[in-house]
Structure 1
């Protein structure tokens, strides 16, 4: 039950039966914000076509860092305490999100796993969306991702 050290339930049978608090957060910062028009295409092979005008934020994190490539369809990240939908395929070194009307700027925090404001995306939530287990999500975070140990009052 080593995943419990991360504050995650080791099995569905224990979810809600044992009090656990997630002990990790995966976040990055927005590297670019750009307004795109309906009909513009983006991502690998230009496989995503925008159905409407959109403000897109680029995040410098991708599957080489452990973000599951197939997360692009159900995926969301937290920016300014709001869930923002991933658009386009998660690439090796980056992913893109539709930030709607949020006043997002380069340098803003984007949370992939963890909480921001009143919202949370847990490794267990992500695993459920991808039909896998939370171990796979946490163990898959790559060596390029900096690890920072924080005390309880810094979280």
Structure 2
């Protein structure tokens, strides 16, 4: 049996998607698209017009379970290849977890996509149970839904 202290604080999943990196990246970098492929069933909606373009950008998202709004602070960005953000309650400092997407073109029509959830810097113990529940299977579900959309629309 794994104790809570042994729970990995960085989980990830990868898969190859039969679509160009640029097309997949648009589905990730436009927050309004994210509820379409969210494997955690955590994202209800995001207002349009929030396309991520740089480190320092911030986008908002409404959560499904509580209807709460999250401000997501972009901390890593490389157009078409990498985006990562730290969520926070409105007007507060992010509590220390990070969502990252890395895209590596295999060729012009296939891309290896890696989705990572990192909570190594999370200190708010009230959030630990939810963080522990974010497993590689949930990340894989997001990748699979993303692949379905990208391959159908691409």
TM-score range, shorter chain: 0.3 to 0.5
Q: Which has the higher strand share?
A: 2
TM-score after normalising by structure 1? 0.32
Relative contact order (alpha carbons < 8 A, sep ≥ 6): 1 or 2 greater?
A: 2
Q: Work out which of the two has the higher radius of gyration on C-alpha atoms and give 1 or 2.
A: 1
TM-score after normalising by structure 2? 0.32
Q: Which has the higher helix share?
A: 2
